[in-house]
Each structure stands twice: as structure tokens, then as C-alpha cells.
Amino acid sequence: MNDELTPSERAALRARIVGGAHDIKPVGAHRNAWIAGSVAAAMVVAIAGGVAVTSTLSAPEIATTPSPSPTVTAAPVPVPTPTLTPTPTQTPTSRPTLPVLAFDGDCSAVLDESAASSVVGVPMNLWEGLSVWDARSLGGVSCHWRTQDPTGWQSVSVTVLPYSVVPDTVRAKAGVAPGCEGDPCDYSERFGDAWVSANASSATVAMDAVAAVGPRAAASPGTERALPASAWRLDDCDNRLRSAVERTLGRSGLEPVGTDDVPQGQEWDVLTARGAAAWCSVAPPAYDAPDYFTLRLSIAAGAQSDASEVERFGGSPIHVEGARAAWWIPPVNGVGGRLRADAGGGIVEAVGTDLTEDQMSDLVAAIIGAFE
């Protein structure tokens, strides 16, 4: 330091440096007291012409003139470079995916037998029939329960589908109590992204079944499925297939079977609107004709059979021209033999009366040809 400064001048200089450093306010929490000290040191260098600061800056004042002392050069104090901690990359939280089928296709998750019995009011059992079409083709599930008591037969069916596959004409029926007098006794509601429909022996049972399933269906609505590109187009089933039957049998003037035992209801309306299902029938116009027969045709576009399931229900593999696989299911009590065939565009199941197995095989081959 400049030895020519008097003690009073040195004290004034020290006060100015320290006071100026205290007036500097740091702009961040990491710039604390060491910044004030650094600024003070810089000001000393500027004022003293570059001479290093010594310990006399903070020493008490001495009344007498100090003796000359060697200049001590302060070693530079290394300033640590702050280590930057990398911001951890957060892995996006995966969102749970919805099951492909509503309730994973498990009917016991829709309603177990105890719950179904509680809804209907009598003991019920899950009925596993061999269906041609069902809600699985559109991402849903369809289940059926029946009583085992033949003296008090009752049934209830429940279907759960993604709401996105339901057409507006069916959506308009949601929440409308069924009449059940000559009309399908079914009831439906929307629960979130799920559409739940029930068909039962009474309106009360149908509505209670929907209420029992609906809240849980909202958490498992299934994912909408599109039909395969190879799926048959099921337009104009009656006219298109009747011509194939007439050519095969060498008959003409055939008409639909005169019956009201046909597929119907809200689930059926959804399946047909989406092009997943069709049903039609063929018979001679006169019921009392000596060569009278009936042929009922169920078609599922884009579907394929489970061979083990068909065989479990009595199906025996046979050859049908144009089919990938086919099975003959003998008639129950001698009435209505069934022939089921898988082809590139879907499933055909024919149920006939007064028709032989060979005739049924030829008819199904002609029907597959009419589609393809």
C-alpha cells in the first residue's frame, strides 16, 4: 500500500471501500458475501494503482508512522467453477391402455352367476352356445345366462361395446324403457365410452342388468375394431343369396321363410349397421308343398371359427368347395342340421330342414361363390 498515506487517510479509504462493497446487492442467491469481498479488492487495486491488498486493510490504526515492511504479494485465490448438475430427463408416464375387448372378453367379469341370479331373481347359469356373430368383432363382449329350471325358463343377455361403434339410430334408444309387447325386450345406456345393452324376459330385468354392469363397463369399454379388408360386403342378403340357392337346387320362386323368429334388437342393429352380420332365409312359397324345405343363413363378415369350439359342439370336419374349413353339425332331435364354413370373407352357417348333408354342402359352396 502507498506508505505516504497518513493514518487518517488510510482509515477514510478503508471506510469508503468497505461501505461501497456493502452497497452492492447480489442478483442471485449464489452471489453472496464473497462477491462483496471481490468487489472491495478490485476497488483497492483500482485506487492504489494495481498494488496488492495487505492485511493492514483490516488492522487497527497505529498512532506512529509505521516502519517500512516488505510487500507481500497475495497468492491468487482460486475461484471454484460451479459444477452444473444435469437436469434429469423425466421419462413420460405411460398411460394405461384400454383392453382390446370389453371386460377382456370375460363373461364372468361382466356378471358372475351369483350376480346374474340376483338380477333375475332365480338361479342363473352362463350359457355358452356356438354363435356365428357376436360383439367381439367390434371390440365388445356379449354374454347370455339362462335358468336351468325348465318349468320357469328365463334368460338375460348383456352386451358391452365401445360407444364409438354405435350408430345414431341406436344411440337414440339409450335410456328408453322397453315395451316388450311384440318388440325386443332390450334396454341400453351409455357409461363413459361404453355402451351397455341387455335383453331379458322382462323390462325390469333388462334395466337392472344394465345398471349392474354399466358403472364397471365405463372402465373397460373395449377398443373399436374395424372389419378386415377382406370381409364380405353383406348388402342385399335376401336377393343375392336366394338366386344362388335357386340355381343350385334348380328351383325358382323361392321366398323368405314366413316367421318372426329372426335376429332383432339393439345389439343386432349395431352389428348390421357396421356390416358385421347378416341373416336371411329361403323357402318355397307354399308351406304344404311336397318338396318344401327351409334354409336359414347366418353370415359373419371377416370372422373365423375356432375349430376346437365347433368340434366341442359336435361339428365334424367336411369338405366344402371354396371353404378354408367346414363342419357338419348333426340335427338336434332330427330337425335342422347345421353346416358351418369359413372362407376368406367370413363365416357362413346354414341351418336346413328337409335338406341332406350333400345338398347343404352344395348350397354353402354356392353362397360362398356368390360373395366372392
Q: What is the DSSP string of 341-361?
A: EEETTEEEEEEEES--HHHHH
The set of cell numbers assigned to 60 is 487497527
Q: Quick one: pLDDT band at residue 216, thresholds 50, 70, 90?
A: very high
Side chain identity at residue 35, one-letter code: I
Confidence of residue 358 (pLDDT cuts 50, 70, 90): very high
Contact present, 270 and 190 (Cβ < 8 Å)? no
Mean pLDDT score across all residues of the chain: 79
pLDDT higher than threshold 80 for residue 369:
yes
Residue 95 confidence (pLDDT) = 42
Return the higher-pLDDT residue of 134 and 48: 134
Bigger pLDDT: 97 or 315?
315
* The pLDDT of residue 350 is above 90: yes
Query: How is the chain split among helix, strand and coil, in percent rounded to 5?
Result: 35, 20, 50
Burial profile 124-159: b = 16 or more Cβ within 10 angstroms, e = fewer: beeeeebbbbbbbbbbbbbbbbbbeeeeeebebbbb
More confident residue, 216 or 38: 216
Angle between helix 113-120 and helix 203-217 axes, rounded to 10 deg: 140
pLDDT in tens, 14-41: 443 333 333 333 334 443 333 333 333 3
Question: Above 90 in pLDDT, residue 328?
Answer: yes
- DSSP for residue 31: S
pLDDT, tens digit, 9 for 90 and up, residues 41-86:
333 333 333 333 333 333 333 333 344 444 444 445 455 555 544 5
- Work out whether the CA dihedral 9, 11, 12, 18 comes out positive or negative: positive
Question: Edge-to-edge, what's the strand order for the sheet holding 141-146?
Answer: 125-126, 141-146, 155-162, 194-200, 186-191
55: region left, alpha or beta (phi > 0 left; psi from -120 to 50 alpha): alpha
- Which pLDDT does position 336 carry in this prediction? 78
Beta bridge partners of 317: 327
- Report all structural domains of the chain as residue ranges with CATH numbers, in order of start: 1-90 (no CATH), 102-217 (no CATH), 237-371 (3.40.1000)
Which residue type occupies 290?
P
Q: Read off φ and ψ for residue 297, nearest 5 degrees.
A: -120, 125
Q: pLDDT per residue over 287-296, tens digit each?
A: 888 899 999 9
| Helix/strand/coil (H/E/C) assignment for every residue in 42-60 | HHHHHHCCCCCCCHHHCCC
Written as one string, the DSSP assignment of 75-123 is PPPPPPPPPPPPPPPPPPPPPPPPPSSGGGG-HHHH--HHHHHHHHSS-
Q: With contact defined as beta carbons under 8 Å apart, do 175 and 189 qualify?
A: yes
The pTM assigned to this predicted structure is: 0.72
Q: Which range (43-47, 201-205, 239-243, 315-319) has the least confidence?
A: 43-47
- Grid cell at residue 317: 370336419
- Closest C-alpha among 315, 306, 309, 245 to residue 280: 245
C-alpha cell at 213: 354392469
Q: Of 11, 34, 14, nearest to 24 (Cα)?
A: 34
